[in-house]
Structure 1
Amino acid sequence: MRGKLLRAVLTWCVLACVAAGASAQAGWPSKPIRFAIPMAPGTGVDVLARAFADALAKELGQTIVVENKPGANGLIAVNFFMQQPADGHAMFMAGVSNMAWNQHLYSHLPYDSLKDFEGVAVFADTPFITVVSPRLGVRTFAEFKSLMQASPGKYSFASAGIGNSTHLASELMLRRTGLQLVHVPFNGAAGSSSVIAGDTAMYTTVPGGIAPLIQSGKLVPLAVTGSERLKAFPDVPTYKELGYDVVVPGWYSIVMKKGTDRQVIEKMNAAINRVLGTPLMQERLAAQSLTAVQSTPQDVQRLTRRDSALWAPIIDELGIRQ
């Protein structure tokens, strides 16, 4: 009798859990979704996030509110995101820096990307492009290299902050080419302004945010990190073409808080993949020199582990852990 009662209770618990999960999925999203992004308004990433949010909101039939929380390599945005409930109505636009590199940059990181986040989707990937100041008087990477080799340590390169992807991408390029430039970190997108003014010589960043500056001649493009030339700048060679192994991951992902209902995660993943499959969204991403990525939730953790392992030694060698 007691055994039958125990089995009945267990069966009821299982059915209750299944019903609760089904109810959560059926009722989601029941309110606006808060979308935290770690960049300032008007930046290339912000433009991408807003276009993506608009398309996703139409797909889900619910408002998505973009929350700009720039600064501290994404830590401000993460702090905001972690204060939201794990009910599927908050998500974070996490790049490779936030997911794979910050754990090697900060001794007391307030989050663990693999333990505190639920991967939803990897949705876009971007190459990096190296640009220089027109005041240098160089037009090709070979000319730039000759100038730098003639005065090692005289010139500097800009970044959006210590440990930022713009910093690490430049450091990798310098290691592969043997050039010596002094690092000058800036807050956010101010690095490109310093190159335009001639205060720093070089900047390596994603092309989406600086394409107009290249097209207007305010920045001179030298090389891109991807496997193919950019459609927007077909005359700019890849580092691979130049004979250098400079491969920098530039993926963007969507994550939710650990504990979010699994069915909600899957539903959001399916919605993201549908949006990315539309010609309009692919066109918007291409305008930012981004490639749409179809993925599973598991791909977020896979890429996080891969790029954490690959870049940990480089970060350690730089001695920039804080």
Structure 2
Amino acid sequence: MPSHRHTPVSRRTALACALLASLAAALPAQAADYPTERPIRLVVPWAPGGATDAIARVLAVPLGQALGQSVVVDNRPGAGGNIGTGQFVREKPDGYTLVMATSSTNAVNPHLYSKLPFDPAKDFTPVAFVASVPNVLVVRAASPYKTLAELLAAARAQPGKLSYGSAGNGSSQHLAGSMLVRATQVQMTHVPYKGSGPAASDLMAGHLDMMLDTGSLPHVQGGTLRALAVASRKRMAALPEVPTFEEAGVTGGIQASAWYGVMAPAGLPKEIILRLNREINKLLQQPAVARHLQEFGAETNPGTPEQFQAFAASEVARYQAIVKESGAKLE
């Protein structure tokens, strides 16, 4: 009799254990089979046509081919990348929604805006670093300044007269210019525009004296702009004859590169992280992909998700002082 009294409890316990075991077995299987359900969306929190969009589109097709599911670029622009990024972090962490994170959204904006719809440390799973594009100090082709030394000498002789353009307050061009001013202690006038395109047009028309920009390579190669220095630790492969700021005689660590990487919402399973990281790193080493990225000055540096996470965290810390020094602040 006592054994019959305990039989229902034992049966329920056995059923519960079997259910838990089946669920536990199913989770790794789903991650291992990823992706099978539907196309993957790669969110770009900027308008079509910019550098972030271009890099995303270089990756999308070959990444979809490698994964066996199409990767669709989903542009969600607005508020300096904050609108699309804020929507993205609320997505399910299943690997079917990714974002092209940038130095602007994930390192600068936390210090530039008083309120953000996301936390750069808590709301993301770093997957793979893709590329960085160093800012290049450029002047128009007809400029009298042939070297950085000549430009800085003129700036010192006429404090505040020389001007540099940017895509707006707090943009990468503005912050790079602020770094140059701080490192050289020269006075120059910042002229913000609504986008780097109008600023570059005014530079080529002679309305500005210089610009530190990540999108100037086609103009340099086309002969309408002259590059004087590169804001990175080493020379750009696409501009091997152009010195770094350090080589040109300016100390103080002028390193201003826009970076791009693939991230997922927080909580993405480890198996999916590793799969995506592996496939993206393979793509970055394909000659066709590397060539397309190099066309606009991008430099790749494949690594682990942990390395990307550490780098992104260090960039958030680094830009705190840079944004403060620039005086930029947006609501």
Assess same fold via TM > 0.5.
yes
1:90 aligns with 2:122: no
Q: CA 1:144–1:21 in 2, change beyond 3 Å: closer, same or farther?
A: same
Pick from 250, 259, 269 the counterpart of residue 258 of structure 2: 250
1:28 aligns with 2:35: yes
SS at match of 2:121: helix
User: C-alpha distance in 2, partners of 1:85/1:243?
Assistant: 49
For structure 2, the residue ranges without an aligned partner over 5 or more in a row are: 1-5
User: C-alpha distance in 1, partners of 2:12/2:248?
Assistant: 73
For structure 1, the residue ranges without an aligned partner over 5 or more in a row are: none
1:128 aligns with 2:127: no
Q: How far 1:291 moved relative to its partner?
A: 2.1
User: C-alpha distance in 2, partners of 1:11/1:120?
Assistant: 34
Matching residue's letter, 2:200: S
What are the within-5 Å matches in structure 2 for residues 235-274 of structure 1? 235-244=241-250, 245-274=253-282
Partner of 2:301: 293
User: C-alpha distance in 2, partners of 1:29/1:164?
Assistant: 39
Indicate the larger mover: 278-287 or 214-223. Answer: 278-287
User: C-alpha distance in 2, partners of 1:18/1:312?
Assistant: 45
Report Cα offsets for 1:43-72 as digits up to 9, x if no partner. 343322211112111111211111233443
Paired residues of 1:123 and 1:295 also in contact (CA < 8 A): no
User: C-alpha distance in 1, partners of 2:27/2:279?
Assistant: 22
Deviant stretches of 4+, over 6 Å: 1-8
What are the within-5 Å matches in structure 2 for residues 160-171 of structure 1? 160-171=167-178
1:232 aligns with 2:238: yes
Paired residues of 2:46 and 2:80 also in contact (CA < 8 A): no
User: C-alpha distance in 2, partners of 1:39/1:70?
Assistant: 4
1:317 aligns with 2:317: no
SS at match of 1:256: strand
User: C-alpha distance in 1, partners of 2:116/2:102?
Assistant: 16
Partner of 1:17: 24
Q: CA 1:44–1:8 in 2, change beyond 3 Å: closer, same or farther?
A: same
User: What is the total number of aligned residue pairs between the two structures?
Assistant: 320
Matching residue's letter, 1:231: A
| Length-normalised TM-score, structure 2 | 0.87
Partner of 2:216: 210
Question: What RMSD in Å do the two structures reach over aligned CA positions?
Answer: 2.5
1:139 aligns with 2:146: yes
Q: How far 1:76 moved relative to its partner?
A: 2.9
User: C-alpha distance in 1, partners of 2:237/2:30?
Assistant: 46
SS at match of 1:241: coil
SS at match of 1:170: helix
Matching residue's letter, 1:170: G
User: C-alpha distance in 1, partners of 2:257/2:11?
Assistant: 56
Paired residues of 1:97 and 1:165 also in contact (CA < 8 A): yes
| Length-normalised TM-score, structure 1 | 0.89
Q: How far 1:171 moved relative to its partner?
A: 0.9
Matching residue's letter, 2:72: V
Matching residue's letter, 1:178: Q
Pick from 226, 245, 270 the counterpart of residue 220 of structure 1: 226
User: C-alpha distance in 2, partners of 1:126/1:230?
Assistant: 9
What's the % identity of the aligned pairs? 34
Q: CA 1:11–1:315 in 2, change beyond 3 Å: closer, same or farther?
A: farther
